[in-house]
A and B are shown apart, each in its own frame.
Chain A
Amino acid sequence: MKPAQFDYARPKTVEEACGILAADMDARVLAGGQTLVPMLAMRLSRPSVLVDITRIAGLQGIACSDDTVEIGAVTRQAAALASEVIRAEVPLLAKALRHVGHPPTRCRGTVGGSVAHGDPSAEIPLAVTVLGAEIVFVGEDGEEERFAPEDFFIGPMLTTAPMGGLLTRLVFPRRAAAPTGTGFREVASRRSDYAFASAGAQVVLNADGTCAEARLGIGSVGDTPVAVDISGLSGTRLTAQDIRGAVVEALSDLETVDDLHATASYRKRAAVRLAELALAEARDDALEQAG
């Protein structure tokens, strides 16, 4: 369980990092190392040089503008979880972060590293998918490229990230001023481990308490996290029957996979139930804000 040899570089700027990545096809970005270092130890990955981006100041931190919250790629998951801005303005991400690994892995693991890795059962990519956050890369040529989640996550650990590119930040929409509730549910074999099925939901209410907008996403059941069209809930009061009917219909053609941990049919049933629970949690959260 010892990695093979590689060189190590710790650039101070994005330009410097991109230069090293452009010069060597086998160079790899090292962020929190919570996924990459195990892969090195098991020799599933054998890069020529690791480009440690964690000390590039421009890639850290959380900034709020009029309608977005931008999160620097190497912002640690623990820092994002502790952030008042994220709790207040991107509450679904705050809920998802609680399920990402354990306190020690969150102390090192980064928000951008999880997205760049693109594990279909990872919680941060699911929150990105539900909220339609933008994924921003800087390519070899120094030009910025922006991706919508559905164009970025294309398979298990497979993304459309540009060759030699560096994920620099994620741009999340800020929550609406109207009551906005969120829910996040998953089943896993151990606390905070990768899930077999997961669901994230967000609902916005009208002044009369009916649903103005509902969003839903399912993770861990197939090749990528998927956004689910649940617009049928708009205008309803989000009763248990409303939710059940809409979820069953919306997930009727959900594709799920079999593996060692769970069968495809189990995943399908779990996805439906978790989606219902997440939407009900989101509704109750929003109603509480409406008072």
Chain B
Amino acid sequence: MKTELTVNGQTRVIDVEPRTTLLDVLRDGLGLTATHAGCEHGVCGACTVLVDGEAVRSCLILGVQADGLDIRTVEGLTSGDGALDIVQDAFCETHGLQCGYCTSGMILAAHALLRVNAAPDEEEIREAISGNICRCTGYQQIVEAIQLAAERIRTSNTLKAGEVVK
């Protein structure tokens, strides 16, 4: 089925089989493997992407349903020359990741939060990542990473969360 997908600001029309999830379209169809496949049935959050700025599970959206929606993945956070965006950088600095499997989902969940709430408290951060499972860190450093990113976004004149380098 012909589907118009806008991923990281780039629009293309591709042929998608109805049963293929957006997750598989991104990874297998477009080669965007920063979005991770974990459980593939909605419980882990590894596959989180931004749709129209909000965090959603890409394993629970069919590719054909994404027709016309604005999709962002971790690849779209920076210009791709190895530079990290402000949230990614904060995750490195506070040791907010170990194996990294959950990390792209966590980072996009953080972006979705910081877009609408510039100064979240710990409770709000924990709520925002409550659908993302991490088996390594114990979450504490992830919470600290998001607090640090929030503070830096508030006090700097760099890109705001959700803003993207074209």
Contact = CB atoms under 8 A, between A and B. Distances in A.
A105 B43 CA distance: 10
Given A8-B62, A33-B65, A104-B109, A42 B57 contact: no
A264 interface: no
A191 B40 contact: no
Given A38-B41, A103-B127, A5 B60 contact: no
Contacts of A3: 19, 21
For the residues of B in contact with A, the DSSP-based class is mixed
A115 B109 CA distance: 27
Nearest to A78: B54
B128 A5 contact: no
Contacts of A192: 130-131
A108 B50 CA distance: 12
Contacts of A50: 18, 62
A105 B131 contact: yes
B107 interface: no
Which range contains the number of A residues in contact with the other chain?
20 to 34
A7 B51 CA distance: 23
B131 A102 contact: yes
Interface string B123-140: 000111011000000000
Given A2-B19, A102-B130, A102-B131, A37 B59 contact: yes
Nearest to B45: A104
A139 to B, nearest CB: 26
A40 B18 CA distance: 12
B19 A33 contact: no
A7 B18 contact: yes
Contacts of A103: 55, 109, 112-113, 127-128, 130-131
Contacts of A54: 65
Contacts of A37: 21, 41-42, 59-62
User: Of residues B40, B51, B60, B128, which shows the largest number of chain A Cβ atoms within 10 Å of its Cβ?
Assistant: B60
B54 A33 contact: no
A3 B21 CA distance: 9
A42 to B, nearest CB: 6
B62 A104 contact: no
A103 B127 CA distance: 8
A105 B56 CA distance: 7
Contacts of A108: 56-57, 60-61
A147 to B, nearest CB: 28
30 contacts: A1-B39, A1-B40, A3-B19, A4-B19, A5-B17, A7-B18, A8-B1, A8-B62, A33-B60, A33-B61, A34-B60, A37-B21, A37-B42, A37-B60, A41-B40, A41-B41, A50-B18, A54-B65, A101-B131, A103-B55, A103-B127, A103-B130, A104-B112, A105-B57, A107-B51, A107-B54, A107-B56, A108-B56, A108-B61, A191-B130
Interface of A: 1-8, 10, 30, 33-34, 37-38, 40-42, 50, 52, 54, 78, 101-105, 107-108, 190-192
A-B pairs with lowest CB-CB distance, top 4 = A102-B131, A8-B18, A1-B40, A38-B41
Interface of B: 1, 17-19, 21, 24, 39-42, 45, 48, 51, 54-57, 59-62, 64-65, 67, 109, 112-113, 126-128, 130-131
